[in-house]
Amino acid sequence: MKGQKQAAVPETPGTDQGKPATQGPGELRGAGTISGLQWLGLIAAIAALAVPMVLNVAPAFIAPQQAPAVRLPAWQRTPEQLSASRGVEPLDPSAPLPLPAKLAAQLDAALMPDGGGNFTAVVQDALSGDVLYERDGGRNRVPASNMKLLTAVAALRSIGPETRFSTQVLAGAKPGTVVLRGGGDVLLSAGRSAPEEVMGRAGLQTLAVETVEALSEQGVTGPVSVQLDDSLFTGKPLNPAWSLEDVDAGETAPLFPLAMNGGRDAPSTKGGPRPEDAAIDAARTFTTKLKSAGAAAGISVRTAVVRATAPADAEVLAAVDSATVRQQVDLMLETSDNYLAEVLGRMASHASGGPASNDGATAAVRTQLGQLGIDTASMRLSDVSGLSLANQVTARQFAEVVRAITSGPDTRLRAALAGFPVAGLTGTLDDRYIDASTASGAGLVRAKTGTLNSVLALSGYVVDADGRLLVFSFIGNGLTPGAAGNKVALDRAASALASCGCR
């Protein structure tokens, strides 16, 4: 166990370890001389008695004493082996509900701000929808990245969990031209397609090779010119509601319907400036790959890339497909990817017949939530990633969204469950729930985080100690920036739900 030291074997009092004994073999002090046969027999007798004594007594010296383990419910125990794949077993609807008064006593003590500001909160029973705890749950708040939960719902409902986005190369209007058309995949890689990956499932090198094969079959030798069609997205590529400091820090970037590495220079890049024109970067990378593949096939390719719109009836020469929307939603939630969230919002609008713009994305989110029966009248939506301080959503609305994902009638939303970060293990919760006050929630709480300068949020779900599935949303606004106790307050509250047998 981490941090646990093995107890040292104590020295026997009155002995000098490592020094030779004063008695010779065959002698016992005060017992006279013993024959060889007697000596061997005595040794055998002592050994026969000593071995079981050592086996019984030694563990008390070489292993630390531990208090008897508390018997945990089956669903909170570490599994001894992998279970057979039977799907998720339903929870027991007869499991007791937490008593609101006892739940309130724990949450009121946990949700205390470190410095300024305050928290709003809602806890609901997922099965019945009963509100078990509420603190200003209908009050509008800046939700930060909890907005991505709303975007996930809109994308899964509008586009569909198993849909993929296609990046295509089409025959241009003029002979000798090909058009690279973006279809919403911003997780392209520069290399070969990697079908087992989410980031990089579609690769520009694979697309270039397939394009060369198609051109060779048509007898094209070149020179070939590459055009870029990124007309799918409309409106401003950079939301004016975003802080330019956030843009400079790499929190997001101008949006296009095709990009490599989620709009970053490399998949491993975490912060810092991003490409200002991710689409043209992708097109230039494709052109380089096309030129290299074409050289081996006797096809020459010009280096320059220009923007153009593909003909409506253009022949598709080659295409590579993205990871599914289900996989992209999970990646977006787990890593809290702002760029991917905004792209999924635009694609949700496009799938519903609306414009693939910022206004289209926010409208798509509102429409899809309304169709789920969630009251959106009080919502104010400025973006769909949560970077904007102009967003206004209530804790009650978030709790209802989480309940729709976990327990609602639209089973397409279950696809988002895998994307919720797991406390102490994955995503944006991997480095939390590690101290004594929150450790009871580690591995059990699953929740989307939200962080801005004076905003913290946590919305998710947990099965409590009695087997009841609870959904929750905690949102802090006006908090003292950088105060360490505020994240702990959120995590302590969620941990209280996990360990609650509040009957």
Hey, which residues are catalytic here? 145, 148, 336
Query: Given the DSSP bridges, would you call strands 258-260 and 185-188 parallel, antiparallel or unpaired?
Result: parallel
End-to-end CA distance of the chain: 33
Q: Which of 164, 181, 179, 196 is nearest to 257 (CA)?
A: 181
Name the percent of the chain in helix, strand, coil, to the closest 5: 35, 15, 50
Provide the total of helices (H) and of strands (E) in the chain, helices listed first. 11, 12
In sequence order, what DSSP letters do the residues of 267-315 get, joined into one string? TT--SS---S-HHHHHHHHHHHHHHHHHHHHT--EEEEEEE----TTPP
| Two tokens, residue 217 | 């079959």
What are the angstrom distances between the C-alpha of 152 and each of 129, 392, 401? 21, 17, 10
Buried b (16+ CB within 10 A) or exposed e, 153-174: bbbbbbbebebbbbbbbbbbee
Residues 6+ apart with CB under 8 A from 424: 430, 432, 433, 434, 439, 441, 442, 443
Amino acid at 379: M
Can you tell me the distance from the alpha carbon of 466 to that of 98, in angstroms, rounded to the nearest whole number?
A: 8
The sheet with strand 224-229 has its strands ordered as 301-307, 224-229, 177-181, 166-171, 316-321
- Angle at Cα 15 formed by Cα 11 and Cα 19, nearest 5°? 110
Q: Which of 106, 141, 1, 136 is nearest to 63 (CA)?
A: 1
Sign of torsion over alpha carbons 420, 121, 379, 246 = negative
Length of the chain, in residues: 503
